[in-house]
């Protein structure tokens, strides 16, 4: 299908883009990589009168380390994350997650900021950012502010971004000590989106006791979430297989699983329990690797 007619602009500065957002209200959409928005427009699920292409604005891409934090520009592509030596060395969970997204074409055009702001309940990257307790920096007509990942995703394709705000960068911690990471998912056959996906990072002491852990889950619910109950059960404990299985069973507690043509609520719940345990075990096996 062909999308409805729309105007198109390529602002040269972030301020210009923010001003256009404020001037056009609900009739405007931001274009980052386009792999989420453009299909929706073709299906007439979105019909903006103005499309603001962010690709010409300097300073919105790239990855750099600042002390114990890594800053990732919102327009950084999934392929750039997948291939980043800085991230492979200091936060391998993001390259692992990026590698699982779509296909080569999607990873070369899709951006981390676009994925997070779109908030598709089956997207991969939100799970990793939640697991890492990432900080999202946004800028709008009222200035700049930070939003914790745990406060960012509000519901089905709904975030804490205000209508005149643009996500500019994501900040994540440098992982230090005896850390392991993993991202595992059950993909939809056609699209590659997650029926259930689980992102894990953990740190253990020399005796194998869990010092800290973060678990992000996508695909199970209308919004991605952090599996706090599972984390709480494992933190401070030695990660034996039976304990991992027991703790992983809690991932569905307090969650309303999606039920659709891809998977029933019961099957999704089963997958969530199984893949949470597998991802934790895989992250544990990767400690020190």
pLDDT tens-digit series, residues 120-177: 999 999 999 999 999 999 999 999 999 999 999 999 999 999 989 999 999 999 999 9
Instruction: Compute the distance between CA of residue 65 and CA of residue 216 in angstroms, rounded to an integer.
Output: 23
**φ, ψ at 230 (rounded to 5°):** -65, -45
Domain locations in the chain as residue ranges: 7-53, 63-173, 179-285
For the 179-285 domain, the top CATH level (class) is: alpha beta
Whether 286 shows a pLDDT value over 50: the answer reads: yes
179-285 has the same fold as 63-173 = no
Which architecture does CATH list for 7-53?
2-Layer Sandwich (3.30)
- Beta strands in the chain, from DSSP E residues, in sequence order: 7-9, 28-31, 50-53, 63-66, 69-73, 135-140, 143-148, 153-155, 158-159, 165-173, 179-187, 194-204, 210-218, 225-226
- Which residues on neighbouring strands pair with residue 276, listed in sequence order? none
pLDDT at 176: 92
CATH 1.20.1250.20 fits 63-173, yes or no: no
Instruction: Compute the distance between CA of residue 114 and CA of residue 90 in angstroms, rounded to an integer.
Output: 23
Here the tokens at position 257 are 């699983």
Instruction: Compute the distance between CA of residue 35 and CA of residue 132 in angstroms, rounded to an integer.
Output: 24
Question: Among 9-13, 70-74, 186-190, which range has the highest average pLDDT?
Answer: 70-74
Whether 58 shows a pLDDT value over 70: the answer reads: yes
pTM score above 0.75: yes
């Amino acid at each position: 299908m062909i999308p409805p007619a729309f105007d198109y602009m390529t602002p040269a500065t972030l301020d210009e883009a923010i001003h256009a957002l404020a001037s056009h209200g609900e009739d405007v959409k931001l274009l980052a990589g386009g792999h989420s928005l453009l299909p929706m427009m073709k299906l007439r699920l979105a019909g903006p009168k103005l499309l603001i292409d962010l690709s010409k604005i300097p300073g919105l891409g790239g990855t750099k380390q600042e002390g114990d934090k890594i800053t990732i520009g919102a327009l950084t592509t999934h392929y750039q994350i997948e291939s980043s030596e800085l991230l492979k060395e200091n936060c391998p969970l993001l390259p692992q997650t990026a590698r699982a997204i779509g296909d080569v074409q999607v990873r070369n055009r899709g951006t981390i900021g676009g994925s997070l702001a779109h908030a598709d309940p089956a997207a991969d990257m939100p799970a990793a950012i939640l697991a890492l307790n990432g900080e999202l920096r946004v800028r709008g007509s009222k200035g700049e502010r930070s939003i914790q990942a745990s406060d960012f995703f509000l519901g089905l394709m709904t975030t804490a971004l205000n209508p005149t705000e643009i996500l500019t960068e994501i900040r994540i911690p440098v992982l230090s000590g005896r850390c392991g990471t993993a991202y595992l998912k059950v993909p939809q056959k056609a699209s590659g989106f997650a029926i259930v996906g689980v992102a894990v990072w953990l740190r253990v002491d020399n005796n194998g006791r869990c010092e800290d852990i973060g678990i992000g889950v996508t695909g199970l619910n209308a919004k991605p979430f952090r599996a706090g109950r599972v984390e709480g059960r494992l933190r401070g404990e030695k990660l034996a297989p039976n304990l991992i299985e027991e703790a992983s069973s809690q991932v569905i507690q307090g969650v309303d699983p999606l039920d659709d043509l891809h998977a029933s609520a019961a099957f999704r719940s089963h997958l969530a329990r199984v893949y949470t345990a597998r991802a934790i075990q895989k992250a544990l096996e990767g400690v020190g690797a």
